[in-house]
Structure 1
Amino acid sequence: MITLRKEAVQYLEAQRTGTPYYKVSPQEARAMRTVTQWQSAHKPKLASIEDHKITVRNGEQITVRLYTPVLGKTLPVIVYYHGGGWVYGNLESVDAGCQLLADQAQAIVVSVDYRLAPEYPFPTPLHDAYDSLVWVHNHMEALGGDASRLSVAGDSAGGNLATVVAYLATALEGPSLHAQTLIYPVTNVDFSTVSYLAYGEDYGLDTQAMQWFSHHYTEKANFTNPLVSPLQLEEVRNMPKTFIIAAEADVLFDEGLSYAQKLKAAGVVVEHITMPGLIHSYFSKMNYFEEATIETVTKIAQFLK
């Protein structure tokens, strides 16, 4: 029997009072998930935080936010993709985590505001994610980044995008990556694992919610597409070293573990850790999980060194 941390219990109790986001429209869900600006004694002082418009394929533009801890020094670069089931989430939803990550890892963090489903279904979010990595790579010198220490990271659906981007970078002979960090990633759109049965209701990410997200992201025929479900990838031996962080009480626990095992079997350096007593989506929900987010960022920074 899992014992949840008190902050997880408090968060879940607060969520029970309202209508579940997966029972409203995506637009209404986004409004429900608006994030307030993080204010805390633990907020780091960075050299700069700047938003930039970048051009992706087909001439469209998206926004990226650059977090730079110090100026005048060549630094590692982490391209970060937010979570939200490909349907909601934005630069603000992971702002706190990205600030902490830039400070703790002493790295330039580039947070990507990729376009969202269902208005922009698969593969548009993935294309935006990959194109932003290419943009960062092509502007590495101007950013003050070290091309030999370029990594990708993301949480939940953002972890899904991060690892598929890492795969595409190898398959398309794109930017060379130092590492990938995946926080409770979606790796297989299949709702039948043991962790789905155990945590599919009242643990922060219900089975119904994942079905809602997945059907907004793409049609059912694509659920087994390796670019949607990277656990289905046949060739992963060229993937960068990998850090997978699991929440103990999470429907996605089993697929994250299976993905770690798949990579390890292919010879990839993998570290998989479990955050005990935590639930899906804890990362950057600073009103409840500031301590856990800081703990997670510290572990990521240690892995990337």
Structure 2
Amino acid sequence: MIEPDVLRLLQQIYTHMDHLKHPALSDLSPTQSRYYFQEGRPFFGGWEQVDVKQADDQVIRLDQPALPIRVYRPAQLPEDQPLPALIYLHGGGWVLGDLDSCDPICSFIANRTQSVVVSVDYRLAPEHKFPIPLFDTIDSVYWVHANAHRLGIHPDQIMIGGESAGANLAAAATIWLRDSRSSVIKGQLLITPVTHCSFDRPSYLQNGTMNLSRERMMWFWDHYLQSAEQSENYYASPLLVPDASNLPPAIVVTAGFDPLHDEGREYGELLQRYGVMTKHLHYPRMVHSFIHMSGQVSATHKAFCEIVDAYQEMYEDIYNLHWTRVATR
């Protein structure tokens, strides 16, 4: 059974969308979808962090447009103190989302872990299809590492993570960097990740009815990929990577009422088979994108605290990091 307060919040959103006359998915354009996405965002407020400083910046590239980023840093720590950092990629099926849509998430992580979070506004499909969002992610990793001193980041303590499509980009970028012999990324935080362009796993057929559906994921993939053949590219579908060895440790998060549950679990199992230190956190009563409900639903807030604490503890243990956890609402 879905967490009752989660279900109540979803019903409020569905009622609002019906009032706005949300069209059927078959008639929905990316522009329309972005409009309704913005209309739904006010339902997820209520947990802004006050002890975090934000600064907007840009990833400057020679041959590509600059990418907006937002840097979060605990307000009480000295600017010249180098901190661990998480490069964060927002969710939204590669079509939706921006720096604002994941602002509470990034602020919360920075505050609770007393570390830096760098949120990346990668370019969206269908205007920018695969592999452009992936290359934006990779470029951002290299830029953050090169500018670590200016950003107050320890260059040897950089992790990457994201939610949903953002977790897909994080996982794929980590594989790309491994293949390129780069050791910049030290860990992965993969929250309800997309790992395979396939729609027939049991979790798709049984649980894909609340907050994310099988049809919606097919819509997202159709806008992200240039061709069906790209679905077999393991930089698009990380679960297909032929060798998962020598990847950094990972936290993999899944939700019971999420069509992505099975592929997320399988990706965690793949990493473990190749000797990658991996912790799988599963929340059987949650839906896709439940972390965004943390300001409204106490159970999701508790779950997100557990996720962030597990992320912090794993990398403290591995790299002897000296983080300080703080109590947050």
For the aligned pair, the TM-score class normalised by the smaller chain equals over 0.9
Deviations 1:235-257 (A, max 9, x none): 11111000001111110000011
Q: Counterpart of 1:28?
A: 32
Superposed displacement of residue 47, structure 1 = 4.5
Q: CA separation in 2, counterparts of 1:185 and 1:21?
A: 25
Letter paired with 2:10: L
Tell me by how many angstroms 1:292 deviates.
Answer: 1.3
Residue aligning to 2:2:
4
Question: CA offsets per residue over residues 45-69 of structure 1, 9 Å max, x none?
Answer: 3342011122246231110000011
1:221: how far off?
Answer: 1.4
2:293–2:300 Cα contact (<8 Å) kept? no
Q: Write the mapping of 1:218-257 to structure 2, written as runs, cut at 5 A.
A: 218=225, 219-257=227-265
CA contact (8 A) 1:26 1:87 kept: yes
Q: Contact 2:45 / 2:295 at 8 angstroms: preserved in 1? A: no
- Whichever residue aligns with residue 73 of structure 2, its letter is T
Say how many residue pairs are matched: 301
Counterpart in 2 of 1:157? 165
CA distance in 2, matches of 1:235, 1:132: 24
Q: What runs of 5+ residues in structure 1 fail to find an aligned partner?
A: none
Query: Displacement, 1:220?
Result: 1.5
Structure 1 residue 165: Cα displacement? 0.8
Match of 2:320 in 1: none
Aligned partner of residue 292 in structure 2, secondary structure: coil
Q: Is the 8 A contact 1:82 1:155 kept in 2?
A: yes
Among 10, 13, 28, the residue aligned to 2:11: 13
Deviations 1:185-243 (A, max 9, x none): 0001100001011012x211111000000000002211111011000001111110000
Quick one: distance in 2 between partners of 1:282 and 1:187?
18
Q: Is the 8 A contact 2:51 2:111 kept in 1?
A: yes
1:136 match: 144
Unaligned 5+ runs, structure 2: 317-329
1:207 corresponds to:
214
Deviates most, 4-13 or 274-283: 4-13
User: Are 2:49 and 2:107, in contact at CA under 8 Å, matched by a contact in 1?
Assistant: yes
Per the alignment, residue 276 of structure 2 pairs with 268
Letter in 2 for 1:162: A
Cα 1:289–1:127, aligned 2, differ >3 Å: closer, same or farther? farther
8 Å Cα contact 1:84-1:157 kept in structure 2:
yes
Q: Distance in 2 between matches of 1:9 and 1:38?
A: 13
Give me the whole-angstrom Cα distance separating, in 2, the residues matched to 1:81 and 1:36: 20
TM-score by length of 2: 0.86
What secondary structure does 2:232 align onto?
Answer: coil
Report if the CA contact (8 A) 1:47-1:71 is conserved: no
Q: How big is the shift at 1:175? A: 4.4
**Residues 1-305 of structure 1 aligned to structure 2 (within 5 Å):** 3-17=1-15, 18=18, 19=22, 22-23=25-26, 24-34=28-38, 35-36=41-42, 40=46, 42-56=47-61, 58-69=63-74, 70-72=77-79, 73-200=81-208, 202-218=209-225, 219-286=227-294, 288-289=296-297, 291-293=299-301, 295-304=303-312, 305=316
Q: Are 2:251 and 2:310, in contact at CA under 8 Å, matched by a contact in 1?
A: no
Alignment identity in percent?
31
Task: Note closer, same or farther for the CA distance 1:114–1:22 as it changes in structure 2 (3 Å cut).
Answer: farther
Q: Which amino acid aligns with 2:92?
A: G
Residue 286 of structure 1 deviates from its aligned partner by 4.8
Query: 1:116 deviation in Å?
Result: 0.2
Aligned to 2:9, what secondary structure does the other structure show? helix
Tell me, what secondary structure is at the counterpart of 1:43?
A: coil
In structure 2, distance between residues paired with 1:37 and 1:50:
25
CA distance in 1 between counterparts of 2:171 and 2:298 reads 25
**Counterparts of 2:134 and 2:49, CA distance in 1:** 30
In the alignment, the residues of structure 2 paired with residue 90 and residue 111 of structure 1 have an alpha-carbon distance, to the nearest angstrom, of: 9
Counterparts of 1:20 and 1:204, CA distance in 2: 16
Distance 1:116 1:167 in 2: 21
Aligned counterparts of 2:58 and 2:196: Cα–Cα separation in 1: 32
